[in-house]
Amino acid sequence: MNKSLIPVGTERGVARRESNPFSFLQQEIDRLFEGVTRGFPNFPSFTGTGANMPRMDVSESDKAIEIEAELPGLETKDVQINLADNVLTIRGEKKSEREEKDKDYHLVERSFGSFSRSVQLPQGVKPEDVSAEIAKGVLKVTVKKPAPAQSKQIEIKSAAA
C-alpha cells in the first residue's frame, strides 16, 4: 500500500505549511540548545533572549545624561566606549578560564562572551564632554548636555541706492 507524502489534517484537507521551510528546523535547533544549556548559568544564550546583555540605567538631569551599566568581572581593558553620529556605544568582552588539577582528574573550564549596547544622545554632544569610570563592576558614563541653541535677532539695514 502506498502512503501519501502530503500531510493531511483532521478535516481531511491538506495541512497548512509555514511559508519558511526551515522554520521547523530552526525551532528544533533552538529547543535542542535550550535543553543542553539549561543548568549552565554562564553558558551563552543561543535563543537571542539577551540574557548576556548588561543591565543599563539611563537618567537625565538639567546638565547631564548619566548611563550606568552593570559589568561584573570586567575591567577597564575589557570595555570600549565610542561616540559617533550622536550614538554612544558601549562594547565589552569577558573571558575567563579556570583550571583544576588533581591526581584523579584535570578540569579546564573556559567561558567568553561579548556585548554591545547603544544609546541615542541629543544633537550636538561632543566627545570631549563624555567621561567614564568603572568601579565594583559598574560602569558610569556621564555625558554633558550641549548648551541650548541661542537665538539672536539680526538687524536689517537698508541698502544705499
Please, which pLDDT band fits residue 44 given cuts at 50, 70 and 90? very low
Percentage, residues of the chain above pLDDT 90:
25
CA 86 to chain centre: 18
Regarding pTM above 0.75, the answer is no
- Bridge partners of 109, per DSSP, are 98
Poorest-confidence range of 3-17, 113-127, 140-154?
A: 3-17
Report the sign of the C-alpha dihedral through residues 137, 91, 53, 139, in that order.
positive
Looking at residue 55, what DSSP letter applies?
Answer: P
* Residue showing cell 537618567: 59
DSSP H helix total and E strand total for the chain: 1, 7
| Residues near 30 by beta carbon (within 8 Å), at least 6 away in sequence | 46, 47
* pLDDT over threshold 90, residue 146: no
Please, which pLDDT band fits residue 47 given cuts at 50, 70 and 90? very low
Largest CA distance in the chain: 105
Domains of the chain: 1-51 (no CATH), 53-144 (2.60.40.790)
pLDDT value of residue 11: 47
* pLDDT over threshold 70, residue 14: no
pLDDT value of residue 98: 82
pLDDT value of residue 5: 52
Question: Phi/psi at 43 (nearest 5 deg)?
Answer: -80, 135
- Per-residue pLDDT of 62-108, as tens digits, reads 899 999 999 888 889 989 999 998 899 999 888 778 888 888 888 88
73 or 56, greater pLDDT: 56
